[in-house]
Structure 1
Amino acid sequence: MSSCVYADTIDPQNVEHNVSGVIDVRAGYASGIGSYLDGGLGKFGTDNGAQLALSQLGLSYHTQWGDAWSSRIVANGYVDGINNGLGITEAIVRYRDIPNGSGVRFDVQFGLMYPQISLENVATAWASPYSLSYSTLNSWLAEEVRHIGLSTTIESLGKYRQSEHDFSLTAEAFMFNDTTGAMLAWHGWTQTSRQTLVQETLPIAIIPAMEDGGKLDAQAANSDPFTELDDRIGGHVLAKWTWRNKGSVQAGYYDNNANTHIVKQGQYVWLTQFGHIGAKWRLPYGVSLTSQFMQGTTLMTSTDGYPVVDNDFQSGYILLSKRWSQHRINLRVEDFSVTDNDKTLGDDNNEDGQSFTLAYQYQLNRPWFIQLEYNLIDSTRPARAYLNQSIDLVEQQWQVSSRYFF
């Protein structure tokens, strides 16, 4: 799918300026409980009933200086009746040199960025060309797994070796991610298309452990996903193999290297570590396969090191996509869970669930798409009993969207 159309200009300093974007207007209906965006324990980014929303106004401003240097600033806006907003989601300076005679080149990026994980969110402004709602794995990345950091990639391009195989290794060092894991613990996995803006904080469902006298009564009412509290540097490594015209496979490990003995202004530091694997592959009959799996741990302690929240988590999806003429159909199935290992009263983070998404897309013309989508999430979360809601819950969502890429 073409994700953008550029309008290029070159100024006297020989700098190219490119602007791209996406406008996504949706009507939908959800059957479930209160949205996690409003401090509830529902899995969708919308409340019960019918909605009409500007689900994404994404803008990307790209500049190119010569062959190697570039920059990109991405802003996103939403008018959804819950948390309307407009703000920056990415801001990156990049150096990517020309390959040498052996096909080796370096790619260095610095700024506010996502870790290089998602295989799903590859369109303009980190949108997904496949579905209106991201997988639970990538919804979590959109919500609280972003940082300010330095990413360095070394690539070996096979065509310089008369080979169909490319290889790359990426190392990322970062800060401003000390609360990563908080929302995964307190509302669990979700399914959304909303990316947290850099200035936003995220509401937390009120549970007994956060009331006066509970072990979490010092926690602020909102979590700040992009704050720096311990002045420590985290890391992410990623290895990728690409077989041209066939597909690609990648594997990585993320560790925010946090000092969990620190709490400031109601924000606790969380130690979050996970491994992830993923693949994109071309199957027979023009079907494409995209799949990712993540497994890890997240820990929050008191200032003396006593474990208050200690969770294992995992999420994985398989996405099949078939495109013909102006049509595209996408099918995604998912499984996710959180396992609570601590003994904190009034804070049960256990969760288990499955998700099913079916999407149909029709291309009106090159940049304009109409999309229909159905989402179903079947989950078990004991913490819903704190809010007098059903522990076992099936939530459904129907959406129709007009998306215009420019």
Structure 2
Amino acid sequence: MRPVLFALLLALPLAARAQDIQWHGFLDLRIVDAAAQRSWIAGGTGKLRYGGGGTQGRFGGAALIGTAQLTPALLAYADVQFRNDDGASLELIEAYLRYRPVSLTPWRWSLKAGAFFPPVSLENDAIGWTSPWTLTPSAINSWVGEELRSTGTEFLVERRGAHSSIEARLAAFVGNDPAGEILAARGWSLGDASYGFGGQVREPDVYALEEGVVPPLRYRPFVELDQRLGWYADLTWRSQRHGRYSVMYYDNRADPTERSTYDGHTTFAWRTKFWGLGAQRRLGPIEIIAQAMTGSTLFTPSPSYTGETRFHAGYVLAGWARGEWRPALRLDLFSLRQIPPSEVPLSEHGNAITAALSWRPRPWLRVTGEVVRMESWRRQRILENAVAGRTDTQVQLGARLLF
């Protein structure tokens, strides 16, 4: 976090003379018919953002995003968001400087420094790292919003052609050693609660009790424990005719034997690495987005034990942008396997179907109705006297005010 603040402080004198400063944001209000099972955000084993049953008004969140064109080549960006799911929390989601000199040739390069999302998502490309298609992102991008953030530098080189382009990224980062812990402790989920710097992710209460900790058990996902650099690489091809295709590899290079104690709780380093594939293509009026991820995360809490979780997920989304209306349908599949299995295995598998319809009658207003139906099987639920297999449904009607 300190490198981010340092970079922003360096940018302040330039910001006063910036060529262009813009402020954007949103305020999100919803009516939610929640799933019956208690959400993991409240300490349960539910896999949707809202749980506990009942229909009531909810505060979805708020964001303030600032961009400043400091020079023709230098851009500053910051995103601050507020949520009140698990106590009021104002958190910095992203903050970085990007240097991209003007290029008069097909080749162009840029350098980004600060704190930013790794380029995993094809889905969340709207304001404040949200989806223009649904309220609830896929399982893959829900996890990215919860646990993945890169504090470091990213180098990008592009080769632009008349009808297509290719770009390659390489990044080195720190401050994401606990990434993967929530997958092992809770498994996959679907929710749009993105965490920022200073935020704390809550683990299911039954997991805390199994670890001998009195709930609630929380940890900070964006901390550095072992002083080792992580890295990722990404290759993307874009074509006017054929769409966009990408492949990515991520490795936080965490030392799984490292740990730290904060507020009486121990946070472990998890060695997390994965491959990601993505495709996006327009077929007539229909936009198709698909992503897949496969990887593993492990930690070594003692010399005699190493726990590994192998995870897999994918989704296909079909959307249709027609004037003020934007319907979308998405299918998610996900699974993970614990090695070696514990007495109550934390392995799981499941699927989810999300249907959404958005209406944007004004540039400053987006109204979205959404239904998420999830089937999942996880034996961890037995610890709270529930069945391992569940079907949960969450219905939302949201109004997002944009500026």
Say yes or no: TM over 0.5.
yes
Aligned-residue offset at 1:23: 1.6
Distance 1:391 1:327, change over 3 A: same
Given that 1:29 and 1:398 are in contact with CA atoms closer than 8 Å, whether structure 2 keeps it comes out as yes
Are 1:117 and 2:120 counterparts?
yes
Whether 1:83 and 2:87 are equivalent positions in the alignment is: yes
Partner of 2:35: 31
- CA deviation after TM superposition for structure 1 residue 343, in Å: 3.8
The CA deviation at 1:324 is 1.5
**What are the residue-to-residue correspondences of 1:260-299 with 2, within 5 Å?**
260-265=256-261, 266-284=266-284, 286-299=285-298
Counterpart residue identity of residue 221, structure 2: P
Q: Quote the Cα distance in structure 1 between the aligned partners of 2:313 and 2:118.
A: 17
Name the aligned partner's letter for residue 280 of structure 1: Q
Q: 1:146 matched to which residue of 2?
A: 149
C-alpha separation between the residues in 1 aligned to 2:326 and 2:219?
Answer: 38
Corresponding position of 1:19? 23
Contact 1:354 1:378 in 2 (8 A): yes
2:325 equivalent among 324, 327, 333: 327
CA contact (8 A) 2:45 2:204 kept: yes
2:110 corresponds to? 107
Flag structure 2 segments of 5+ consecutive residues without an equivalent. 1-13
Cα distance in structure 1, aligned partners of 2:257 and 2:16: 53
Match of 2:55 among 41, 44, 50: 50
Instruction: Give CA-to-partner distance per residue, 1:42-99, whole Å, 9 cap, x none.
Output: 011112222312212111111102221011110111234x433222111111111222
Q: Assess if the C-alpha contact under 8 Å between 1:32 and 1:394 holds in 2.
A: no
Q: For the structure 1 residues 316 and 96, does the alpha-carbon distance in structure 2 shift closer, same or farther, using more than 3 Å as the test?
A: same
SS at match of 1:183: helix
Q: Does residue 394 of the first structure (1) align with residue 398 of the second (2)? A: no
Q: 1:218 to 1:20 in 2, by over 3 A?
A: same
Q: Which of residues 225, 241, 247 in structure 2 aligns to 1:229?
A: 225
2:244 maps to 1:240 = no
Distance 1:383 1:230, change over 3 A: same
Partners of 1:122 and 1:128 in 2: how far apart? 6
Kindly tell me: are residues 400 and 99 of structure 1, through their superposed partners in 2, closer, same or farther at Cα, counting changes over 3 Å?
same
**Deviation readout 1:199-239 (Å, 9 max, x if unpaired):** 1112222347x55xx7x448992122011100100111000
Answer yes or no: is the 8 Å Cα contact 1:14–1:65 preserved in 2: yes
Using the alignment, how far apart are the partners of 1:275 and 1:388 within structure 2? 36
User: Contact (CA 8 Å) 1:262, 1:303: kept in 2 or not?
Assistant: no
Q: Say whether 1:67 aligns with 2:72.
A: yes
2:203 corresponds in structure 1 to 204
Cα offset, 1:245, TM superposition: 4.9
How far does the alpha carbon of each residue in 1:334-393 deviate from its partner, in whole angstroms, 9 at most, with x for none?
Answer: 1000111114334x2101000000001111112311111100110000000011112000
Q: Could you state the TM-score of these two structures normalised by the residue count of structure 1? A: 0.91
TM-score, normalised to structure 2's length? 0.91
Task: Map 1:360-375 onto structure 2 (within 5 A).
Answer: 360-375=357-372
Describe how 1:284-363 pairs up with structure 2 within 5 A.
284=284, 286-304=285-303, 306-307=305-306, 309-346=307-344, 348-363=345-360
Distance 2:183 2:336 in 1: 8
Distance 1:138 1:263 in 2: 26
Equivalent residues, number: 384
Aligned-residue CA RMSD (Å): 1.9
Measure how far apart 1:262 and its partner are. 1.2
Q: Measured at CA, do residues 141 and 14 of structure 1 come closer, stay the same or move farther in structure 2, by a change above 3 Å? A: closer
Q: Deviations over 1:234-264 (max 9, x none)?
A: 1110000000254100000000101111122
Counterpart of 1:383 in 2: which secondary structure? helix
Q: How far apart are 1:173 and its partner, in Å?
A: 0.7
Aligned partners of 2:34, 2:42: CA distance in 1, in Å?
Answer: 15
